[in-house]
Amino acid sequence: MLAELRRPERTFTIRQLCQEFKVTPRALRFYEDKGLLAPSRDGMNRVYSYKDRARLQLILRGKRVGLPLAEIREILELYGAEDGPVMQSAHSLKRFRHRIVEMEQQREDLDQAIIELKSACERIEKQLAEVRPDLLPRAEDYDQMLRARLDGHSYPLSAK
């Protein structure tokens, strides 16, 4: 039955995850190489569980906020440390606290950058409206952006 597809027992092929999150198989294998993912196997083939999928979501969000993969790995270990190697996580704790402060600073930078880029765009649009109104962007373009956001997973920063 189709409901199976929603049940947490469900597994994913590499291709399925790639399509869902718009990444390449190469990227997933790379993350595995670097210790961020560890899917089980069916023979040679990778089998991704729901937990693997959740980890991948965290990885991609980490990337979107600018974290290097090495640090994302540590954070994932922090999550995964149910009760075992608390000592080792303790060692990283100070660094994580530091990172939090950095991220809060980054958020302020981001707000400021958004404000300024917006106002710069509006300035140009006004100038453009006076000189060449025909070149002004159509509302349809913004529709497309909004639809893209509702798809959930945003595009990477370096997207063309």
Partner DNA sequence: GCTTGCGTTGACGCTAACGTAAAGGGAATA
Partner DNA sequence: TATTCCCTTTACGTTAGCGTCAACGCAAGC
Binding site for DNA (CB under 7 A): 13-16, 24-27, 29-30, 34, 43-46, 63, 68-70
Asked whether 21 and 56 are in contact (CB, 8 A), the reply is yes
CA-CA-CA-CA torsion for 152, 28, 53, 146, nearest 10 degrees?
0
Stretch that binds a copy of itself, among 14-22, 33-41, 47-55, 56-64 (CB under 8 A): 56-64
Q: Helix (H, G, I), strand (E, B), or coil: what is residue 41?
A: strand
Tokens (6 digits) for 156? 């990477």
Contact of residue 46 among DNA, a copy of itself, none (CB under 5-8 Å per partner type): DNA
* β-bridge partners, 40: 47
Contacting residues toward a copy of itself, per CB under 8 A = 61-62, 64-68, 75, 78-79, 81, 83, 86-87, 89-90, 93-94, 96-107, 109-114, 117-118, 120-121, 124-125, 127-128, 131-132, 135, 137, 141-142, 145-146, 148-149, 154-155, 157-158
